[in-house]
Amino acid sequence: MEIINCHVHTFTQAHTPKRFLPWPVTELVRIPLVRRLLRWAARRFDPKRRGALGRYAQIIETSYNKTQGEVFEIVRGFYPEGTRFIVLPMDMTKMNAGAVETGIDAQHREVAALRDAHPDSTITPFAAVDPRHEGIVEKTIALIEQQRFAGLKLYPPTGYHPYDRRLWPLYAYAEEHNLPVLSHCSRPASVQYRGEPTTEMRTDPVSGELLNLDRRQLLTWFTDPDAYRPLLERHAKLRVCLAHFGGAGDWGRYLDRPWHSDSPTAEKSWLAKILDMIRSDEYPNLWTDISYTLYANEEYVYLLEVLLADPKVSGRVLFGSDFYVVENAELEERRRSLRIRAVLGEELFSTVARENPKKFLGEAPI
């Protein structure tokens, strides 16, 4: 069976800002001995890499002193020959955590070269989009038309609303040219804006109202599934994927806490919100993926199996892993993907890992 992993990363330490890791870790990990000690400590005290120690050790181990090609070879080795991967660049240049060694333009060039090095089409790159970059519309269109990038990648927790007015021309272009949009949609974590909110950030792109929100509230507002309603309403034909299906924490809340359809919006699990949006029939081109979330807790696959019993849901879910950002990626990438496939069964797994991705990419009719 052809598998399409709709959500992987190949960025390296060179693409992360200087203050991405807590001080003094940033400086210490430059020393090879310290990196070896950190890997040893993670294996000794956090063997399944569930906590912060394991998470940072995994990111450092995978990304440090490697090229994007070397990172890709790691993830490719966990899947059958012929598996396709949607590679999502990470633009952290505007998250106010220091300078990056290699900017997003160079990262895009590296991904394009990596794609060209695999003429069997195993790599499908998306263009990372941040409205705060000068000329973002023209640059992104050039990536699509000249470098054959296949879609748009958003990461609002780095400091912008997904319906930022500067992105409106790109959404119109993507809708006209049958291009998909994939956006991070789980609560802000390690990759997030680190500074004080600006007036621009606190301005509602729909109403123009200036909002009195602190940084955490603002970043949550940017990332909430509800933030995408204006986009989905204005561009009904635009295929939009809210990645992570609300996030692992919200899958836990969905299982652990009571809720019902008329619960206050703020109390709802983001998983429940996305499910409501998909089932409502109001957003016929809304998608989601299971990246990171299904790799964070092995019991979630049983909830996924139940959710996919609804044809409205099963027709809008994409397989993805979030390699290597998931904290136990190297230890669990193959195990978790095989577990998902075994629990779902071949027919349902084929739906989320082959048929749906082709529809999302515009390669097959919906």
pLDDT tens for 128-154 read 999 999 999 999 999 999 999 999 999
Dihedral of CA atoms 241, 77, 65, 48 in degrees, nearest 10, equals 80
Q: Count Cβ neighbours within 10 Å for each residue of 214-248 and write b for 16 or more, e otherwise.
A: ebeebbbbbbbbebbbebbeebeebbbbbbbbbbb
What are the beta bridge partners of residue 289?
318
pLDDT tens for 293-341 read 988 888 899 999 999 999 999 999 999 999 887 544 444 677 888 999 9
Nearest to 285 by CA among 174, 127, 207: 174
Nearest to 206 by CA among 180, 179, 228, 236: 228
pLDDT (0 to 100) of residue 60: 67
pLDDT tens for 55-100 read 566 666 666 757 999 999 989 998 999 999 999 999 999 999 999 9
Among 31-35, 173-177, 266-270, the range with the most confident prediction by mean pLDDT is 173-177
pLDDT (0 to 100) of residue 326: 59
Nearest to 169 by CA among 223, 225, 238: 238
3-state secondary structure of 242: strand
pLDDT (0 to 100) of residue 211: 96
Order the strands of the 240-246 sheet from edge to edge: 127-129, 152-154, 181-186, 240-246, 286-289, 317-318
Give the predicted TM-score (pTM) of the model: 0.91
Nearest to 282 by CA among 317, 240, 333: 240
pLDDT tens for 15-26 read 999 888 777 666
Backbone angles phi, psi at 63, to 5 degrees: -100, -25
Going from the N-terminus, what domains does the chain have, and what CATH number goes with each?
A: 93-319+331-360 (3.20.20.140)
Residue 127: exposure state from Cβ atoms within 10 A (0-12, 13-18, ≥19): buried
